Amino acid sequence: MKPSTLKLLKHIEQADLYQRYGKVSRVVGLMIESIGPASSIGDVCYIHVGKGGREPVAAEVVGFKGEHLLLMPFSSTNDVAAGSLVEASNTALQVPAGDALIGKTVDALGRPLDGSSLPEGMIHVSADAAPLNPLERPAISEPMALGVKVLDGLLMMGKGQRMGIFAGSGVGKSTLLGMIARNSEADVNVIALIGERGREVREFIERDLGPEGLKRSVVVVATSDQPALMRIKGAFTATAIAEHFREQGLNVMFMMDSVTRAAMAQREVGLATGEPPTTKGYTPSVFGMLPRLLERAGNSTNGTMSAIYTVLVDGDDLNDPIADAVRGILDGHLVLDRAIANRGQFPAVHVLKSISRLMNHLASKEHLEVAEQIRIWLSSYEEAEDLIKIGAYKKGSSREVDQAVAKMPDIRAFLKQKTDESFELDDTLQALKHLLEGTHAS
C-alpha cells in the first residue's frame, strides 16, 4: 500500500465524526452560560436561536463555571432563549486574508461592510496568533519615511518599529494617522478602527484617508455599539491581516485607533467572567492582552510590519494605567499636546515629550546633530516662555535663550504641515539643514 494511502487512512481513523451540542442555561448581561458542549477556551460555538430563519449567533468560549461554558457573543443576544442549542466548532476564530481585501472596509470577522462578497478560495488565518520568536526578528536597520516633517526630522521611525500616539480627545490623532497612511512609503496599510463612533468611520475613510490612501489600505472596523468581544477581535483580526501581508514580503504599516478602547473592551469581558478589578477598574487580563497584541508587530525574515497605536489619555494624563503599560512595551511615543493644537500648530506633536527609541540607530550623524540642536532650542524657549510672555526676559541674559527666541518662528514653521502636504525624506533633511544655518525652507 502506498505511503500516501496509509497517511489518508490514518487521518480517517483519527477523524472525529461526532458533532457535539449543548444548551443555553443562563444569560446574564454580556455572558451566556451553557451546559456543554465540550470545548476549549478560544473556540467558537454557534447558538441556534430558531426564529425566522435567523443565522446562528456566533460566540466564543471565554471561561468555565463548574461544568458550564461561559460564552461571549459576537453579535446581539436577541432571540437567545433558555434551552437554545449550542453547537461546538472545535476551532478558534479564522479570518480571511489576501490581496482581495485591499481597498475594502471589513468588520471584526473580516466580512466586507459594503455587503460585497470576497472571492472564493481566500486564505484564512488565526486571529489570535502567537508573537514572533525574539531570535527570529531581524534588527530594525532601515528608516520608514512617513511623509510628515516633524516625525521624519525629529522622531524618525524605522521599518518594523512600533510607536504610540498619546493624546486626549480632539487633538488630531485621526488626522495624523490619515496623513501617514497617504504619505508613508509602506506597500500596504492595515488600519483598525476600534471602538469608534459610527459617524467617525466614514468621515475618517473619506476625509482623513481619502481615495489615495484607501486604494492601498485595508480598514477593519469595530464600532463602539458592538459587543465587547467584537471590539477585541477587531484588534486581533486587523493584526492577523497585517501579519499575512508581512509574510508575503511586503512593507506593512499597521495602525490602530485606539488600543485604549480595545483594553476597555477586554475589561468588560474580564469583569463579566468574574475577574477582580485592579488599577482603575482594569482586570489582570487587560495587562496580559496588551503585550500579546502589541508584540505581534515587527519584522520577520520575509517582510516588515511597522505599527502605530493611538492611546487615549484621560484629561491628558500620561500616567493613565493603559498609557503607562503601552509606553513600556512600544519602541517610542508621540505626545500630541492640546496647548500646541490650541495655537493652530498641526500636527500638535510635543517634541520634547516624544521620543523614538531607534532614531539614534537609523539617522546619520549630521541628522542627529541637527535634531539635537533643535531640541535644545525648544527646551531653552520652553524654560523661559513665561518670562518672555510677560516681558520680564531681557535680551542678552542667556545666549541660548536669545538663539531660541530668534529661531522659534522658523522652528514652528517647520513643525507645521497641512494635511494635504507630503514631504520626501531628503526634502525634510534639507529643510532641517537650512533651519540650522538660518535659511529656513519649508
For residue 142, the model assigns a pLDDT of: 94
Calpha distance 219→253 (Å, rounded): 12
Residue 322: closest CA among 272, 285, 286, 276: 286
Task: With beta carbons less than 8 A apart as the criterion, state whether 35 and 22 touch.
Answer: yes
Helix (H, G, I), strand (E, B) or coil at 143: strand
Residue 16: pLDDT band with limits 50, 70, 90: low
C-alpha cell of residue 166:
498619546
The number of beta carbons lying within 10 Å of the beta carbon of residue 159 is 23
Give the model confidence (pLDDT) of 253-278 as tens digits: 999 998 999 999 999 999 988 899 98
pLDDT, greater one: 392 or 126? 126
Calpha distance 300→237 (Å, rounded): 19
What domains are there in the chain, each with its CATH number?
20-92 (2.40.10.170), 98-363 (3.40.50.12240), 366-438 (1.20.1270.330)
Instruction: Give the ranges where 83-227 is alpha helix by DSSP (H).
Output: 149-154, 173-183, 198-203, 210-214
- pLDDT averaged over the chain? 90
Q: What strands, in cross-sheet order, belong to the sheet with 217-222?
A: 105-106, 217-222, 188-194, 251-257, 304-312, 162-167, 332-335, 355-356
Give the model confidence (pLDDT) of 112-131 as tens digits: 998 888 888 889 999 999 89
C-alpha cell of residue 347:
500636527
What is the amino acid identity at position 410?
Answer: D
353-356 long-range contacts, Cβ below 8 Å, gap at least 24? Answer: 353/318, 354/155, 355/155, 356/155, 356/156, 356/157, 356/161, 356/163, 356/331, 356/332
Q: Is the pLDDT assigned to residue 440 strictly greater than 80? A: no
